[in-house]
Amino acid sequence: MFKYPGGRVYEKREQVAAGKANATYGNRGMTLEADLNETNAYYLERGIAVIHKKPTPVQIVRVDYPKRSAAVIKEAYFKQPSTTDYNGIYRGKYIDFEAKETRNKTSFPLQNFHEHQIYHMKQVLAHGAICFVILRFTTLDEVYLLDAHHLLEFWERKEKGGRKSITKTEIEQYGHLIPLGYQPRIDYIKVVDKLYF
């Protein structure tokens, strides 16, 4: 059992969605993650880029040893809020990005981002690194790369009492559609080349 710092029990999305009719909803966060992990493995194998998913820091509290050779974690807590999902290096530049999905067809809710992630992106940008978000509209099967500068502008608008989401039109205007492929699945490096090099 994993717990957040406040003591609330962490449940996998699959567990939360188990009682719902639409089983794919429970795995919505995993499809983008799986596609990006596959893409990053492709980049790594071919010497294109070194980009990895960051592990979530966890503090283990209780472990049972039912057998000598098998330990079972019974209780653990997230140590601290994580920053963004992925980081690494490409063409000598540090890359840092977050990946999010929505089933919404007309906008992307900013509630999908956390304040500590926004703060982290500001810090990364202040040091001249490449920072962006990859957004997937799952029902439309569209993936966009949006530079973090634009995300921060939309976040600031929200903080000042404006829209609590980014419209699909704004994402189309400021973001860059990433065509889905086979090898790699989400070839975001092509967009990175175009935007930052």
Q: Which residues are annotated as a binding site for Mg(2+)?
A: 83, 85, 98, 117
Place of tokens 């995300």: 151
Question: Rounded to 5 degrees, what are φ and ψ at 67?
Answer: -135, 160
Number of continuous H segments (helices) and E segments (strands) in the chain: 6, 11
Task: Tell me if 135 sits within 8 A of 189, measured CB to CB.
Answer: no
| Residue-by-residue DSSP string for 73-107 | EEEEEE-S----SEEEEETTEEEEEEEEEE--SSE
How crowded is residue 197: how many other Cβ atoms within 10 Å of its Cβ? 9
Distance CA 14, CA 28 (A): 9
Strands 165-167 and 130-137: unpaired
What is the rounded radius of gyration, in angstroms, for the C-alpha atoms of the chain?
18
Binding residues: 83, 85, 98, 117
Q: What is the DSSP letter of 187?
A: -
